[in-house]
Amino acid sequence: MHQYPAGHVIYRKLTKDYPLIVRGEGCNLFDETGKRYLDACGGAFVANLGHGLSEIPDAMAAQARRASYLTGMSFTSGAVEELAAELAALSPGDLDHVYFLMSGSEATEAALKMARQYWAETGHDTKHKIIALSPGYHGNTLLAMSASARGHYKRFFQPWLVDVRFIPAPYAYRCACRGGEPPCPACSGDALEEAILREGADTVAAFIAEPVGGSSTGASVPRAAWYRRVREICDRHRVLFVADEVLVGAGRTGTWSVMESTGVTPDLMTMGKGIGGGYVPLSAVIAPRRIVDVLAGGSGALAHAQTFSHHPVLCAGALAALRYLREHHLVERSASMGRVLHERLAALRELPNVGDVRGRGLLAGVEFVADKDTRAPFPRAARFAERFTDAAQAAGLMVWPNVGHADGANGDLVMIAPPFVITEEQVGEIVTLFGVTLQAVLRAH
């Protein structure tokens, strides 16, 4: 038994009995009893290369033998320099300088601090407000949590949080226009301009958004015009556009970054999760020289020191992961297998209580509803997404739940985001196990 308080671990869930995984291979995980789990969500949208590779740990070991830790205050390393150059080459537009951290939450903190510092150092000290989307999620540290529209995460910590302004996310399944014409203010981008004008453009520092919805909107994809409209609004009102690609980047949606596919360049971009392939905890803020130059010519540094930023072993692992991704054409595979995934997942729409299936590339959201016609969610007390996820794990299928997106409290969906090495046979297994699990949960409901 691996459950609190039987051992000495403070587990993520203190009432759950955790299987102990002893081996991973491709899209599969195996526990100490020999049971196999199909990892259909990459853990937490992280394991894009698949489990069990030797190339990445070998590269980390080689770097650790040369120098295991170097403080970013005093030194740099070949791994840091090479990874930054490769990420700069992959990033859209003028995004060409990289600040390395460990988690997506840290990257959000650093990006928003960079935006605020930029305005302060250019003499626009009144520009301090942040606008974000609801539903939306950007992390669990205090500033990142402030910018996240997740009330159940904030419940204990509200007195410590920053007052962030929220606008409705472009969420076609639940917005006023239902994705049709004419678009509602959320789907057109007009909601952003309304918020900037309401707050006063001279007070707004940044607008932060996931360019494709993560778990908070279940992979909802904005219309193409939304990105252009957001860029035009931010330019006109001198607001920095921060694209949070921690979950949706690194090839997950079929291109290296979502922004690459839109033809729009944000002012700052965060990445994480998949850039280390699950082998290293690494994140990054990617910025243009026009912003970094201001910091260099003013205070001389981003005011966001972290002990493990620019870590050579982590960057060596991420560099090896990036090269493996490129050499095995896995971003292209994410695009092609993404088409297979969505073709096969379309059958789920016929199942009871499946309201919508959506996404891009190897990222999909399946939203559950109590009534398909009205799109009414299950009551939160039913804990439908959690019960489905637990039942799926018992059946050997790993998916990721999300709740609260319908109205801030109610709403149930699960995310599917398998490693890029998934096969067509395994996609079929996902669909089969999903249907079996849903029938079991509904019988017990």
CB 127, CB 119: distance < 8 Å: yes
Cα gap 102→104, rounded to integer Å: 7
- SS3 for 63? helix
Is 21-53+329-444 a CATH 1.10.10.10 domain?
no
Backbone phi, psi, residue 262, to 5°? -95, -20
Cα gap 412→207, rounded to integer Å: 27
Number of residues that make up the chain: 445
Buried b (16+ CB within 10 A) or exposed e, 204-222: bbbbbbbbbbbbbbbbbbb
CA distances from 38 to 20, 51, 181, 221, 354 (A): 15, 11, 40, 26, 21
Q: Average the pLDDT over 47-62 and give the result.
A: 98
pLDDT tens-digit map of 208-229 = 999 999 999 999 999 999 999 9
Q: Average the pLDDT over 161-177 and give the result.
A: 96
Query: Quick one: which H or E segment has residue 416?
Result: strand 412-416
Helices 424-444 & 330-345, crossing angle to 10 degrees?
Answer: 40
Q: Is the pTM of this model over 0.75?
A: yes
Choose between 400 and 152: higher pLDDT: 400
pLDDT number for residue 24: 98
Burial, 178: exposed, middle or buried (Cβ in 10 Å; 0-12, 13-18, 19+)? exposed
pLDDT tens-digit map of 95-144 = 999 999 999 999 999 999 999 999 999 999 999 999 999 999 999 999 99
| 3-state helix/strand/coil string of 345-404 | HHHHHHCCCEEEEEEECCEEEEEECCECCCCECCCHHHCHHHHHHHHHHHCCEECEEEEC
The residue type at 413: L
Residue with tokens 């205090």: 142
Q: Average the pLDDT over 423-428 and give the result.
A: 98
Strands 129-134 and 204-209, by their bridges, are parallel
pLDDT > 90: percent of the chain: 98
CB 353, CB 440: distance < 8 Å: no
Cα gap 349→352, rounded to integer Å: 8
CB 333, CB 422: distance < 8 Å: no
pLDDT number for residue 444: 85
Query: What strand order describes the sheet that includes 397-398?
Result: 21-25, 28-31, 36-39, 397-398
The residue type at 157: F
pLDDT tens-digit map of 279-329 = 999 999 999 999 999 999 999 999 998 999 999 999 999 999 999 999 999
Buried b (16+ CB within 10 A) or exposed e, 24-47: bebbbbbeeeeeebbbbbbbebbb
Give the start-to-end residue ranges of the domains of the chain. 21-53+329-444, 56-327
For every residue of 286-327, DSSP letters joined together read EEEHHHHHHHHHTTSS-S---TTTT-HHHHHHHHHHHHHHHH
Which CATH code is given to the segment(s) 56-327? 3.40.640.10
- SS3 for 64? helix
pLDDT number for residue 445: 73
Cα gap 321→276, rounded to integer Å: 6
Cα gap 329→50, rounded to integer Å: 14
Q: What average pLDDT does the chain have?
A: 97
Cα gap 99→302, rounded to integer Å: 9
Residue 234 — pLDDT band, cuts 50, 70, 90?
Answer: very high
Taking the CA atoms of residue 68, residue 72, residue 74 and residue 79 in that order, the dihedral angle to the nearest 10 degrees is 50
Residue 18 scores a pLDDT above 80: yes
CB 210, CB 244: distance < 8 Å: yes
Cα gap 151→131, rounded to integer Å: 16
pLDDT number for residue 305: 87
* CA 150 to chain centroid: 15
Neighbouring residues of 16: CB distance < 8 A, sequence distance ≥ 6: 3
